[in-house]
Copies of this chain bind each other. A is one copy, B any other.
Amino acid sequence: MNERKRQVMLLAKKLFIDKGFTATSVQDILEEAKISKGTFYNYFTSKNECLMAILEDAHNESVIRRRELLVGRDKKDKDILAGQILVRMQVNRELNLLPIYEAVFYSTDEELRNFVKAYHLSELKWIAGRLVDVYGEEAKPHAFDCSVMTLGMIQQLNHFWKAGSSKDPDIEKLVHFTFRRMDALMSDMIKQKDVLLEQHLISSLEIPAGDLKEKLQEDLLVLKKKLEQEQIGNCVDYANFLLSELQAENPRVSLLEAVGRSFREDSNGKMLADRVNEVIFLLWKYIDSIKANS
């Protein structure tokens, strides 16, 4: 993505957070970003597309952050899962996303609607998968039900905590409370062999491992050259290592994970951080595809 375009996006994001999506006019964005209408519609075909870019960005960010929490940890650890779901809540709060999601979900723009729908669904599938990690295979038939209910409980509790109290909800307390409830739910469902939602909804998320690797390598190479120009030492090393490791027949996953996480940490705040993020996002997708196929 164009550097200038990204800047416009970030300013739009700021406005959407502060004023809300519908209350922010394109004119507001133009003034904030000091660009003309023509330029805006050159970058984005519509205000909705601009929002979609922001949402995608946020989505990728939380996918990475969640994935990083698992590096070197036991995937059965329930606290890790709680932490991962907390990330989602934090991102939602930071970007004030809930109102946006709701507004969008019932908007007339079908593309936008489908975008958010697909995101929600992938979110649920991911949680369901993690629930199987944590609760074992016997939880599988109930994982989707449980993820949906858990998300529903969290959302509503958050909602009414906000409505009833002036101060922001303590989302950590909220998530842990819900997790204790989820425990009871899960064992009860397993005991009663009680299933609601059809299994086929859970059909594993397709991971197109095919061109993923090539894309990753290409982008890494481009990124490395830019990093070299900017003389950001550490990051060049990271990029070089990842490139060489990806050449190996069986890349060592744990190394990819470790370096990937540090790469992003070190680039944080620096120039090109956004570009790094984009590449690292691909890296995690690639790592997950390896893990899924082993």
Residue A23 interfacial (CB < 8 Å): yes
Copies of this polypeptide in the complex: 2
Using A102-B106, A106-B102, A108-B22 as known contacts, say yes or no to A177 and B156 having CB atoms under 8 A apart.
Answer: no
* Closest-CB distance, A109 to chain B (whole angstroms): 11
Residue A270 interfacial (CB < 8 Å): no
Segment at the interface with B among A52-60, A191-199, A231-239, A240-248? A191-199
Contact A151 B157 (CB under 8 A): no
Q: Which residues of B contact A188 (CB under 8 A)?
A: 180-181, 183-184
Residue A149 interfacial (CB < 8 Å): yes
Using A102-B103, A106-B20 as known contacts, say yes or no to A124 and B160 having CB atoms under 8 A apart.
Answer: yes
* Closest-CB distance, A288 to chain B (whole angstroms): 23
Q: Which residues of B contact A272 (CB under 8 A)?
A: none
Contact A152 B161 (CB under 8 A): no
Q: Which of A154-194 contact B (CB under 8 A)?
A: 154-157, 160-161, 163-165, 173-174, 177-178, 180-181, 183-185, 187-189, 192, 194
The interface size bin for chain A is 35 or more
Contact with B along A218-258 (1 / 0, CB 8 A): 00000000000000000000000000000000000000000
Neighbour of A185 across the interface among B108, B155, B181, CB < 8 A: B181
* Closest-CB distance, A199 to chain B (whole angstroms): 11
Residue A136 interfacial (CB < 8 Å): no
Using A102-B103, A108-B20, A163-B117 as known contacts, say yes or no to A151 and B145 having CB atoms under 8 A apart.
Answer: no
* A23 to B196 CA separation, bound complex (whole angstroms): 33
Seen from chain A, the residues whose Cβ lies within 8 Å of a Cβ on chain B are 20, 22-23, 99, 102-103, 105-108, 117, 120-121, 124, 145, 148-149, 151-157, 160-161, 163-165, 173-174, 177-178, 180-181, 183-185, 187-189, 192, 194, 196-198, 201
